[in-house]
Amino acid sequence: MRLLPALAFGTLMLPLAAYASDPNSYAQPDQVRVTHLDLDLKIDFPQRRLDGQATLKLDWKNPEAQSLVLDTRDLKIAKIEAVGGDGKTTALKYALAPRDKQLGSKLTIAAPQHPAQVRIVYTTSPEASGLQWLTPAQTAYKKRPFMFSQSESIHARSWVPLQDSPAIRFTYDAHVSAPKDVRVVMSAINDAKHPLNGDFSFDQPHPIPSYLLAIGAGDIAVKETGPRSAVYAEPSVVDKAAHEFEDTEKLIATTEQLYGPYAWGRYDILVLPPSFPYGGMENPNMTFATPTVLVGDKSLVSLVSHELAHSWSGNLVTSAAWRDIWLNEGFTTYVQGRITEAVYGKPLADEEALLSARALQKSIGAMPANAQKLAPDPRGVGADDSLSDVAYDKGSWFLRTLERRFGRSAFDDYLKGYFNHFAWHSITTEQMLDYMKPNLIEKYPGKMSWDEVKAWVYDTGIPKNAPLPDSARFDTIDRERTAFLAGTLAADRLAAKGWNTQEWMYFLDRLPDVAPLDKLQQLDAAWHLTGTPNAEIGMRWYSHAIAGGDKAVWTAAAEHMTRIGRLYLTMPLYKAFARTPDGLAYAEQVYARARAGYHPLTQQVVGDLIAKAKKAK
């Protein structure tokens, strides 16, 4: 097939086809492209909505184009108008298509005169998939309501009408009105000393994709953690969070030494209420983070290393489509490991790499063949589905393999060049490979064949010669687990008193899927796992105990599921309960109580799981 003409974008010439082929967006950026967003929002907590207007600056690509097509989901459009250079406005005709369950509603704006700007006046729905509204009772401090966004993968369209594809980058500025005493933050430079006067302005001068558009508002306190970093959190959480994340400046400086200057100015962290559905979200200038990593010993701060690493891989160099998301997550997980090694030591970095690799080895064979590939058929995996362990763990495993084959020094030079070459651009897997071939594979002949590279990217499974790091402590844990299960080592004789979080995770991860009930009860009696405040350990423990038939843990498991809305830490428990009729009935009861406190994404995933399990039984 004949490719469309190339699109000049910065210093790179990217094929327009790369921008026009996103199956998860209605946008037609080969016709017209949004380059800047001017956002004006009013936060309405009682009605659980944003009232706003979005003014889009446009770059018309096709002189014959007749319309601007945008992505929306559940937006109520009041009016749309063209904005002239003199500020005068002209009403435009538009059509909002019926809602598609996955993609939302296509908004087609008739604009044959090719206006330089188009303004959409709209209101969001209380059920917007990218926003969560919390009552004061659902927050930690329990005094004021809270609202936050989660735009990845394709949920920005539920609170802003735009071209919702990672291929399209734009700058933005925003004005936000809020009740007094509420702090508003966005994925831009935030002023820790801003008065809580209900009037906030933001500017993001760097071009970002829509999934990195973010907003939060609530009873938020601030504590500085360095000259260019601070922690934002509810007042009852902020001191604990600042202690946990006190190494942030050290992490930034370490990453700069590895891969070049931090390009975004400030790096702040917003610790959200427990209903946040993910571990962290790499929103530029302000990572949104789960409170489940606040365990007091910094054992889970690799989350900060991961989200910070996105400032290079993901935010600076972005995947052009969700099919290519491994370019964000695989590269970031690799960089995360390098940061962890430099700041906290190689043993911890190796343990984390082994945890992810062993988990992937266990799970990948059960995945559909297309989902096992780093670069799958783009129409075979949905936008949210693409954020799987394959993107993170197979991707980072591939990069660790490259490092081992080419040597750390050569591979570091390659990565620096990669980040510099593609900075501020969205790229495909094929563009990354086109850069890798001359700048790494052919530059150092004999280290790795091109067929091996393609096998990692396009084949199913994990190559048989994929290297794994060594961990003497994990080897000892393997021996102790085997002896415990065989009955030659009592539970209270395990050398677990000194285990860190990762070592407990490893011990529990490699228990049998259905462990003997008496063994589980012995473990709990010796180490008091039921009721643990550590959510990573709790998720693994409750999953095993439920699968093993220990109904004594059900109440504590339900408390975990109700308190924590992070999908990764909650879904395994629902899945464990759903395997038996009694468990499924109990899970339904827990969900009925917990649902109001869950994020819309969590509600959707848990609701679908329960519905599917009921249908199967």
pLDDT range class, residue 380, cuts 50, 70, 90? low
Interval 38-53 mean pLDDT? 98
Report yes or no on 230 lying in a domain: no
User: Edge-to-edge strands of the sheet including 67-72?
Assistant: 67-72, 105-110, 94-96
Least Cα distance to 183 among 231, 138, 244 occurs for: 231
pLDDT above 80 for 385: no
Q: What is the pLDDT of residue 231?
A: 98
* Mean pLDDT lowest among 292-296, 472-476, 553-557: 292-296
Query: Is 503 within the bounds of a domain?
Result: yes
- With a CB cutoff of 8 Å and minimum separation 6, the contacts of 451 are none
Decide if pLDDT at 7 tops 60.
no
Residue 13 has pLDDT above 90, yes or no: no
* % residues pLDDT > 90 (the chain): 91
Domain shared by 611 and 585, yes or no: yes
450 assigned to some structural domain: yes
Within-domain flag for 375: yes
Average of pLDDT values for 386-392? 88
Residues 438 and 529 in one domain: no
Of 412, 427, 458, the one marking the end of a domain is 458
Tell which residue, 147, 142, 229, has the closest CA to residue 184. 147
Judge if 497 and 440 occupy the same domain: no
CB crowding 60-78: b at 16 or more within 10 Å, else e:
ebeeebebbbbbbbbbebe
Examine the domain organization and report whether 326 and 408 are in the same domain: yes
Question: What average pLDDT does range 383-396 have in this prediction?
Answer: 87
Co-location of 354 and 438 in the same domain: yes
Q: Are residues 491 and 450 in the same domain?
A: no
Kindly report the CATH number assigned to the domain that includes residue 484.
1.25.40.320
- CA nearest to 496, candidates 506, 485, 488, 486: 506
How many residues in total does the chain contain? 617
Amino acid present at 48: R
Domain assignment present for residue 596? The answer is: yes
Q: What is the dihedral of CA 163, 169, 170, 175, to 10 degrees?
A: 70
Q: Are residues 519 and 602 in the same domain?
A: yes
Domain endpoint, select from 436, 458, 480:
458
Grouping H, G, I as helix, E, B as strand and the rest as coil, residue 49 is strand
Domain identity same for 535 and 403: no
Domain closes at, from 400, 424, 458:
458
Q: Which domain holds residue 335?
A: 320-458
Say what the pLDDT of residue 2 is: 28
Give the pLDDT mean for 298-316: 95
- Nearest-10 crossing angle of helices 429-436, 450-458: 160
* 415/527 same-domain check: no
Q: What contacts 75, CB < 8 A, 6 or more positions away?
A: 105, 122, 123, 124, 125, 157, 158, 159, 161
In a domain, 401, yes or no: yes
Band of residue 386 on the pLDDT scale cut at 50, 70, 90: low
From 145-149, 150-154, 302-306, 384-388, the region with the lowest mean pLDDT: 384-388
**3-state SS, one letter per residue, for 508-554:** HHCCCCCCCHHHHHHHHHHHCCCCCCCHHHHHHHHHHHHHCCCHHHH
Identify the pLDDT of residue 11. 39
CA distances from 218 to 129, 234, 292, 331, 593 (A): 19, 8, 19, 33, 24
pTM of the model: 0.93
379 confidence band (pLDDT: 50, 70, 90): low
Residue 17 pLDDT: 44
Where in the sequence numbering do the catalytic residues fall?
A: 307, 392
Q: What is the token pair recorded at 595?
A: 């649902």
**Number of domains into which the chain is organized:** 2
Mean pLDDT calculated for residue range 425-436: 98
Same domain, 453 and 344: yes
90 located within any domain: no
pLDDT in tens, 91-117: 999 999 999 999 999 999 999 999 999
* Same domain flag for 438 and 497: no
pLDDT at 82 over 60: yes
Predicted confidence (pLDDT) per residue in 322-368, tens digit: 999 999 999 999 999 999 999 999 999 999 999 999 999 999 999 99
User: Does any domain span residue 114?
Assistant: no
* pLDDT, tens digit (0-9, with 9 covering 90-100), for 260-297: 999 999 999 999 999 999 999 999 999 999 999 999 98
Say which range, 195-199, 273-277, 553-557, has the weakest mean pLDDT. Answer: 273-277
- Indicate whether 374 pLDDT > 90: yes
pLDDT band at 548 (very low <50, low <70, confident <90, very high): very high
Residue 581 has pLDDT above 80, yes or no: yes
Does 598 share its domain with 485?
yes
Domain with residue 400: its CATH number is: 1.10.390.10
Contact 216, 151 (CB under 8 A): no
Other residues' Cβ atoms within 10 Å of the Cβ of residue 356: 18
- Average pLDDT of the chain? 94
- pLDDT tens digits, 147-169: 999 999 999 999 999 999 999 99
